[in-house]
Chains A and B, each alone.
Chain A
Amino acid sequence: MKIGSRIIGPRLGSKLLLAGCVLLLIPWLGFQSLRAMQQFLTEGQAAAQLLTASGIAALLHGRRELFAEQFDDHAASTQLATLPLYPLPGRILLDGFAEDWQGLEQRSKDYGGAPGPQFSLLLGENKQRLYGLLQVRDTSPIYRHPAYLRLDHSDHVRIYFKDTNNQQGRLLMTFEGSGKVTVYAVDSDWRIATPGSPDYRLQGYVDIDANGYSIEFSLPLAMLGEQRQLGLAVADVDDPHQRTVAHISSTFPDIHRDHYNRVSMRSVATEAILQGLQQQDAQIWVLDRALNVRASTGGLGAQVEDYLNTEQQRAKPLWQSLSDAVLGQLIGLTSQPLEDFDPLQTLRRDDALLHAAMTGLGGTQQRPSLDGRHQIIAAAQPIRDGASIIGVVLIEQSTGTILSLQRHSLQHIALLSLLSLSAIVIVLLLFSARLTWRITRLGRDTDRASDEWGRMQHRPNIRGTRAADEIGDLSRNIEQLLARLNRYQQFLSTIPRTLRHEINNPLNTAATSLEHLQAQGGDRVYVESAQRGLQRISAIVDNLAEAASLEDALHSDEISVLSISALLSVYIKHLRERCRHDIALSLPENDIWIEGSDIHIEQLLDKLLDNACDFATPGTSIAVGLNCTKTHCLIRIKNYGPTINEAELAVLFQLFHSRRDPEHSNSTEQHIGLGLYIARLICERHGGDLSVVNLPSADGVEFTATLALTTIDQE
């Protein structure tokens, strides 16, 4: 019998593991603190950027000349519109098509008007080269004729500029159809090429369509002097025969004065200042009051690529790619290169900030990059000159560094958490397994301390009583409890023997007195009935004492190897002589050997066959069968007669349980519910058990006594 049947539910180990899930809070807390750290670092970066911006603004403080229209020796020149120079994301492929200007072409400015040619011009700058996109509306362009030496006999473009020596420079672009343009330095009349050979500093390409022609050209910025004056004029020749210049449109009003438009762009001096402040991962802009870019340095694009170089990326193991992907989801970091260059939008996005700076308020803002995958912090500070504001310093920096730092920390935390979690889980598992094992062992030991009938073992073996913890306490308590129970059981088992000792004296008195009475000629009937009564009392007391000490008796008995089949056949032979029922015995051909006490087997047969004889319906036969399994032999005793009800089956083999009705019992036999109890004890002593079933036909019962076969080979 198990102590406490199993209730379905989580076991101790599962419960501990569940409780251990609380440990998952550790990485979460780490993540939260990282978030706070990110916030802190971002703010720190913004502050640092603002400080840098202030520093730059302080450097530029009062340097009005850097922002003024430079070198206005002539008042008129200040009237001239500047040619805005837009920063370009990269080189322009000189092919006459506008695609690589990335929408910047909308910013081109229109010049000229009837009757002169109309054209639009857009200038950009990249890597110290100036790029131009010129689109001329001319439905009938006149191309250069190779036969003419003079250059003004066809449609052409004139470029005016001041060179590094502040001398007037003249370049003329002419073409013979779609394709590369040819550039010459020309005389002051724009007729003859002065060196006679093309000038390759300026390169261009023309594309001609129905509306006119487009020229993309490029020249090194170094060609221009410090004044950066540049003018452009389009000469239109209408008559293919006359080939004279009909009209000239230009970007500046008077082509005969050598004042041209100033190319409004970085000033060399400002840029020189900024060079020293260049930061790897930041982009610094200096803008003037009109928010034209005066200088810029650095770039945002490269830093992310720098951080994860492609070689490493390729060599990354799978787990790292996985962790990158997961972490990217968590903190928004991406290893994609940053693309934040859009000349149209670069400044527009920081508009509010810039305008605030213009009013004298420096500030920072955080915005997503153009590709939406990065965060960019922008800081703007006004550049002052006394009370007035002459420009703005803008520093843009992506948070990539912080994010990568955060990612590193997260990886670190994740790895440490994983390691510590698995260590804790393993320790918890081992610990719980050990606890569970100890508790299970204690339960098993406790279970074994008594047999299924509730009798205590003489020496219950409780292990783990030397442990100092609570389970050790529990083990010791159970051990003590079992010891006490054992003492009590021993006390109980001695009661019948004590009782026998005590009752034997009065019994003896009565018996001897009766004998005297008999000798004196007392009434024989009464004397004999009194003697029978005494005999019953004596038998009851003996039986009780025997049942109580049967365990000891069984253990002290001599055990021998004996043939159960031979014993059974002798027993049945003698039984047939005195039993009024027919007895059918079926034995196997071979002898069956068991190890045990023959006297007690005989006692067992006495009990079972007395029982069968008493309950058998007169005239029916009792069937006794013997057969064996691999390890046990089974003695089946079947009689026809009353069946046993279900409730009784369970308690049939318990002490003091009798099947017999009081009127059913005869006076000479003692039936105080010991017989089947003793029979069961004998079976158990012989390594088996005793069971009973009602016959399926419900007209009798069958007892089966199981006894262990001997392990000693009989051959």
Chain B
Amino acid sequence: MSYQIAIVEDDPDQRHNYAMALEKQGYTVSAYADRGSAREAMSSAMPDLVVLDIILGHEIDAGFQLCRELLAIDPSLPVLFLTERVDEIDKISGLRLGAWDYQPKPVSLAFLVERIASLLRLRALRDEPIPATRPAQATGHLSIDADAMQVHWRQQLLELTITEFRLIAALVRRPGYPVAYEALMQATIQQYVTRNTINTHMRNIRRKFCALDSAFACIGNEYGHGYRWLKES
């Protein structure tokens, strides 16, 4: 049975492009242009995953509101925000509402497909846990579960977005070696990434580690080059 995916996007071209790309992957896609129609359709039949734009028509917070309403019906519903609102504050509000991921536009379709697949896999894992096919990779106090896309630091779960998870995974692949910006950019599998974007992600990741462990200092800058996972001393 194919997954049911709902797309709420007011721009018809983008809506069409998303739908085409997802249908090509074998998903069943229903697309909506505004909050009202989406809300009405989805309250009768919940999809397996929702892709939401935040600004819908004249309603600038329609996406957030819809997310709140849908999660009230089904709290385990994976919600992926895909929006032109790229400010940090919007991202934080979206994730706080319970969204699983937040992607700024422009987005690559390949990345979107990949991301949706990951989210669905995560959902499946959550619904019926199966033993991990691959053991979690451990580096010092850090352990990375690639299947569950989960990171533990000193046995504590770190809440990371998928992009952040991928950046950590890329850094830890060869601990102690510098990883260039270019490699990190590729790891995000986003289309247009600048060094600033990487720096911002790294800063957020550091913050999350520091929230668990104030002595955390394993992510080191390689100025003019990139980053490096430092071995714990």
Contact = CB atoms under 8 A, between A and B. Distances in A.
A601 B13 CA distance: 41
A501 to B, nearest CB: 5
Contacts of A539: 192, 194
A574 B20 contact: no
A270 to B, nearest CB: 122
B223 A501 contact: no
B145 to A, nearest CB: 29
A534 interface: yes
Interface in A573-625: 573-575, 577, 598-599, 601-603, 605-606, 609
Contacts of A102: none
B109 A515 contact: yes
Interface in A173-205: none
Contact of B191 (A511, A568, A603, A605): A511
Interface stretch (A86-94, A305-313, A502-510): A502-510
A516 B17 contact: yes
B221 interface: yes
B85 interface: yes
Contacts of A573: 224
A106 to B, nearest CB: 123
Interface residues of A, number: 39
Given A516-B17, A538-B106, A605 B223 contact: yes
Contacts of A535: 191-192
B221 A602 contact: yes
Nearest to A556: B88
Interface string B101-135: 00011111110000000000000000000000000
B11 interface: yes
Interface residues of B, number: 32
B89 to A, nearest CB: 11
A291 interface: no
B203 A574 contact: no
Interface in B30-84: 84
A546 B87 contact: no
Interface string A321-343: 00000000000000000000000
B180 to A, nearest CB: 9
Contacts of A504: 84, 86, 104-106
A567 interface: yes
Interface string B173-194: 0000010000000000001101
Contact of A505 (B11, B108, B110): B11
Contacts of B203: 558, 599
B93 interface: no
B21 interface: yes
Contacts of B214: none
Contact of B21 (A500, A507, A515): A515
B173 to A, nearest CB: 19
Query: In the complex, which of the residues A515, A538, A567, A577 has the most CB atoms of chain B within 10 Å of its own CB atom?
Result: A515
B224 A508 contact: no
Contacts of B195: 603, 606
Instruction: Return the 5 tightest CB-CB contacts between A and B, nearest first.
Output: A504-B84, A574-B225, A512-B17, A571-B224, A571-B223
27 contacts: A504-B86, A505-B14, A505-B84, A508-B11, A508-B105, A508-B106, A508-B107, A509-B11, A509-B13, A512-B18, A512-B21, A513-B13, A515-B109, A516-B17, A534-B192, A535-B191, A542-B192, A542-B196, A567-B223, A570-B221, A570-B222, A570-B224, A573-B224, A574-B222, A574-B224, A577-B225, A599-B221
Given A542-B194, A546-B196, 15 more contacts: A501-B84, A505-B11, A505-B14, A519-B24, A539-B194, A558-B203, A567-B221, A567-B223, A570-B221, A570-B222, A570-B223, A598-B221, A599-B221, A602-B223, A605-B223
